[in-house]
Homo-oligomer: A and B are copies of this chain.
Amino acid sequence: ERRAELKMLVLQEINPNVKNMKDVVFSTIKRRADQISKELREGAQKPYQHLIDVSSGDPHASGVKPLTFVRQVLAACIYPELVNSNRLPADVRQRAQRILGECVGGSVGSYTATAGIPEIVHRVSEFIMRRDGGISSNPENIYISPGSQWAVQNILKLLVKDEGPLRTGVLTPGPCYRTTITSITGIGEVPVPYYLNEEQGWELQVEELHRALESAKEICKPVALYVINPGNPTGQLQSRKSMQEVIRFVAEKKLFLLADEVYQDYIHGPNTEFLSYKRVLFEMGSLYSDTVELASFHSASKGFTGECGLRAGYVELVNIDPKVMKYIQKLFSKDSCAPVLGQIALDLMANPPQPGDPSYPLHHMEVENIRKSMARDIKRFSEVVNSLPGISCQPVEGGAFAFPRVHLPPKAIQKAEELGMKPDTFYCMRLLEEGGLFVSPGCDFDQKEGTHHIRISVVVSGDVMEELLQRLSCFHLQFMKEFA
């Protein structure tokens, strides 16, 4: 410290965009959570024996078991002696052998092409076609990356232009996934929130898009619209009509459309189905399908695969000028390639075992068990949470999260202010400290001013769900009483 004057990199000297990156309250709560876990390990006496962390959508961390088929194929790819072992089902060994044949030098330890192993990219493209009812997909427009957010960042990077009097703007939902906001500001772009209508089940309303765009005037030049469907943190599933409105809006305003669709497999209602933006776009006719520039994202971290730790997602690009595609290739190529085992997980997610395959019965059962238990748990979550005084939660139709609104008593808000905290941060800190439950505060997600929420992952095992509901209910009643 004493030699600070000899250093070149003082805080004043760092990239101003990086300096603009918002502090996420999550980090502060996480530090305390880690501390509490350490105290518990060292024998501290608390009203709970371990923390429940539902602050991120991380199924394996919350008791959901990995899919056996996925893990068996990965193990055989990493240790090919298993391909010749009769301990693994025949289709597992065939898959592994095929994939190893597609790896350079027959090893998952080799680099792949920038966009991913060509055969895997091809199979992902076929998956997209099947999903979208036959609408064509070109493998050359698909890039596999170490997580979908990484691909989002590359597209954002392409769009930023720091020339002229105004910065580049990106329309983002309010509330919005916090990492996206951080990425946008870190790149030097300005997020322009369009607020979702909570009372209408977090519906996206087109008048609000117009208002948001208008609000950006003289602040920035919006070039793109970012949408998350199913919603994070909202849990909302967009209707075709709503998506059509978004598409007409971006077409009219000449905005690039970024559609974060990583939760497409998590559809919790019995009578709902996921529609991709690409499908809706192509079913609107060539006036739109020939012109609207779309990037759609998906991930092996989400859905029933839930392999967050393997780090793989993809982007499919639609209607991008070939001259621009060349630069997208450059942007992705400087990171060499996505982790090969993540690429394989993506392949298996896109191409699960089929009826007749030896692994099908077990795989099917595992997936159905997760699906059913998730639907049941989310139903129960809604009932319990909505029965509590001072909490209301919109229906969780899709995605990994519930985003209940907490109507905090004035005394609690006052107390938070005294402590220099946002009201929902105060609530989350107390819930962590007293209830042993780690959730994210709504203030990290660009929620509407004056409202307070908590974000809770609902992709957890049944046991974890029971325990978390109990801890939340018990804490909440106590908290409301204290500040009544």
Contact = CB atoms under 8 A, between A and B. Distances in A.
Interface in A50-67: 53, 56, 58-63, 66
Interface stretch (A135-143, A149-157, A349-357): A149-157
A182 B330 contact: yes
A107 interface: yes
Interface string A10-51: 110111101101000001000000000000000000000000
B153 A309 contact: no
A161 B310 contact: no
Interface stretch (A72-80, A125-133, A476-484): A72-80
Interface in A276-310: 290-291, 293, 306-310
Given A75-B82, A309-B341, 14 more contacts: A6-B291, A7-B293, A7-B319, A8-B256, A9-B320, A10-B324, A15-B161, A21-B331, A59-B109, A75-B79, A147-B335, A157-B186, A179-B336, A341-B341
Contact of A309 (B108, B160, B163): B108
A107 B60 CA distance: 6
Nearest to A331: B18
Interface string A138-179: 000000001101100100011111110000000000000001
A60 B110 contact: yes
A71 B223 CA distance: 46
Interface in A193-248: 223
Interface in A99-139: 103-105, 107-112
Interface in A335-362: 335-342
A53 B16 CA distance: 42
Interface in A418-469: none
Contact of A157 (B15, B63, B293, B327): B15
A311 interface: yes
Contacts of A8: 223, 254-256, 293
A339 B310 contact: yes
A334 B18 contact: no
Residue among A63, A331, A334 having the largest count of chain B Cβ atoms under 10 Å: A334
A369 interface: no
B339 A309 contact: yes
Given A72-B79, A75-B82, A183-B334, A308 B27 contact: no
Interface string A254-265: 111000000000
Contacts of A16: 161-163
Contacts of A186: 157, 330-331, 334
Contacts of A108: 309-310
Contacts of A10: 321, 323-324
A109 B59 CA distance: 9
Contact of A111 (B3, B61, B293): B61
Given A146-B146, A339-B311, A306 B7 contact: no
Interface residues of A, number: 91
Contact of A3 (B78, B109, B157, B290): B290
Nearest to A340: B309
A157 B339 contact: no
Given A8-B254, A308-B109, A147 B79 contact: no
Given A339-B341, A340-B309, A61 B7 contact: no
A146 B144 CA distance: 14
A105 B60 CA distance: 6
A4 interface: yes
A333 interface: yes
A102 to B, nearest CB: 12
Contacts of A82: 75
B309 A103 contact: yes
Contacts of A329: 27
Residue among A7, A183, A306, A333 having the largest count of chain B Cβ atoms under 10 Å: A7
A105 B63 contact: yes
Contacts of A327: 14, 18-19, 21
A109 B66 contact: yes
Nearest to A163: B16
B19 A335 contact: no
A109 B60 CA distance: 6
A155 to B, nearest CB: 10
A291 B10 CA distance: 12
25 contacts: A3-B290, A3-B291, A6-B254, A6-B291, A7-B293, A7-B319, A8-B255, A9-B159, A14-B158, A14-B159, A27-B329, A58-B111, A71-B79, A75-B79, A78-B341, A110-B308, A110-B309, A146-B311, A149-B334, A162-B162, A186-B331, A186-B334, A309-B340, A310-B340, A311-B337
